[in-house]
Structure 1
Amino acid sequence: MKTEVNNITLHYKKTGKGKPLLLLHGNGEDLHIFDPLADRLKKDYTVYQIDSRNHGNSSKTDDYSYQSMAQDIFCFIKDLNLTDVSVVGFSDGAIIALMLAIENKELFRKMILLGPNLKPTDFKKKEYNYLTQQYEKTKDPLIKLMLEQPDINPEELKKIQNPALVVGGQYDIFYRKVFTDIANTIPGASLKIVKRHDHGSYIIGSDMLYEDIKGFLQ
């Protein structure tokens, strides 16, 4: 399915019935990373898997910014007249969810942030250096996005009013302190560290978090 929002076309997949649940993927991916998870969540929710701009089958643009990506999702919610919306965001998707929740206190019922970061300096040094080398080789604007953005003031997290679950991998690309600080700053947020997993192995093409997500969203 497709919809025109914010002067671009967003491609998405809609399944199930119940309260709306958005699934937002990470950098360089598409909506299909959530297929196994969505297949189970659709029993209780109307699931919207969305391709971000410059990803999947959504519009390709010259605008690579989290602010624009967040505005796309805000417009998507309004365009489809969705209410009582929850969101699961992975990596870039978690950044988008954070930015939206900071600016729009009534937008989300609940949110689950998988592998979020607030600044490029949240990358472990080895990971940041690797990304820098890859960008020098490829000049990929998606890599540049991660090296330069986001720039979220931790104090802004205190504005978030919806319940939040923060999840990180034991061997994540971001420092553990990033996840603990986010969870400790968002009022009432919970934290889960997935043992023996890296940044994406517990979510990309996996339904292993289904019980955690279902339990939190109830």
Structure 2
Amino acid sequence: MYIKVNGVELFYEKEGSGPPLVLVHGNGEDHFIFDQCAKVLSGSFTVYRPDSRGHGKSSRVPKLHYQDMADDMALFIKELELSQPFFYGFSDGGIIGLLVASQHPDLLSRLMVSGANLNPKGLKAPIYWFFRTLFLFKKDPAMEMMLTEPHIGKGDLERISIPVWVTAGQRDMIRESHTREIAEQIADSRLMLLSGQSHGSYVVHSTRLAQIIKEAMEEN
């Protein structure tokens, strides 16, 4: 299905029944990374899986910015009249989720982010320099965005008033200190560092994420 918001068309899948749950993928990915997870969650939730602008089947754009993506997702929720959905964001999707929760305090009921960062320095140095070198050859707008954005400050996080789960793998590409900083600056947050997991091993084409989300929902 397609919906027009903020000057672009976003493709999304919808499945299941129950409270609304929005799953947003990371940089260079699309909604297919949640195929296995959605099969499990659709038994308990109405699952929405949009492709971010410039990704998957959604509109291509010459430049990508996290703020535009956050505006897209806020309007996506409003246009579909989703009543305070649970928002899950992986990597770039987590950045989008933090921006939405900070800027639209009444829009979401809960937020979970995995492997998100507040600025490019949140990336471990070898990862940052790998992508910076790769960008010299590929000139990919998604990669450029990752190397220059986001710029989320303490004040932004302090404006988030809903429950937030901050997750990361212990072998994540995001610095552990950075992940802890995110959790510490959000008033109602829970930190989950997953033993033996990498950036996306428990998320991409995995059912483990479904169990983590269900446990978070049951907690509240």
Stretches of 4+ moved more than 2 A in 1? none
- Native 8 Å contact 1:20 1:45 kept in 2: yes
User: 1:182: which partner in 2?
Assistant: 182
* Structure 1 counterpart of 2:34: 34
Deviates more, 1:16-25 or 1:203-212: 203-212
Equivalent residue number for residue 163 of structure 1: 163
CA distance in 1, matches of 2:103, 2:120: 21
TM-score between both structures, scaled by the size of structure 1: 0.98
Tell me if structure 2 keeps the 8 A contact 1:118–1:154.
Answer: no
* Residue aligning to 1:123: 123
Distance apart, 1:174 and its partner CA: 1.0
Matched, 1:200 2:200: yes
Aligned-pair CA distance for 1:63: 3.2
Structure 1 residue aligned with 2:148 = 148
TM-score by length of 2: 0.97
- RMSD over aligned CA atoms reads 0.9
Alignment check: 8 A CA contact 2:63 2:141 kept:
no
Structure 1 residue 141: deviation in Å? 1.2
Q: Which runs of 5 or more structure 2 residues have no equivalent in the other structure?
A: none
Q: Secondary structure at the match of 1:128?
A: helix
CA distance in structure 2 between the aligned counterparts of 1:165 and 1:112, rounded to whole angstroms: 5
Shift in Å at residue 12 of structure 1?
0.2
Aligned residues: 218
Q: Sequence identity, in percent?
A: 39
Q: Secondary structure in 2 aligned to 1:167?
A: strand
In 2, the alpha carbon distance for the partners of 1:40 and 1:28 equals 24
1:79-103 CA distances to partner (integer Å, 9 max, x unpaired)? 1111121111000100000001111
Q: Indicate whether 1:137 and 2:137 are aligned.
A: yes
Deviations 1:40-66 (A, max 9, x none): 111111000010000000000123000
- The superposition leaves residues 134-177 of structure 1 with CA deviations (integer Å, 9 ceiling, x where unpaired) of 00111111111100000001232111011000000111111101
Q: Using the TM superposition, give the Cα deviation of residue 200 of structure 1 relative to its aligned residue in structure 2, in angstroms.
A: 0.9
The equivalent of 1:103 in structure 2 is 103
User: How far does residue 195 in structure 1 lie from its aligned partner after superposition?
Assistant: 1.1
Q: Which residue of 2 aligns with 1:46?
A: 46
Gaps of 5+ in 1: none
Distance 2:62 2:201 in 1: 30
Query: Counterpart of 2:109 in 1: which secondary structure?
Result: strand
* Whole-angstrom CA distance in 1 between matches of 2:132 and 2:38: 33
In the aligned structure 2, how far is the partner of 1:139 from the partner of 1:211? Answer: 37
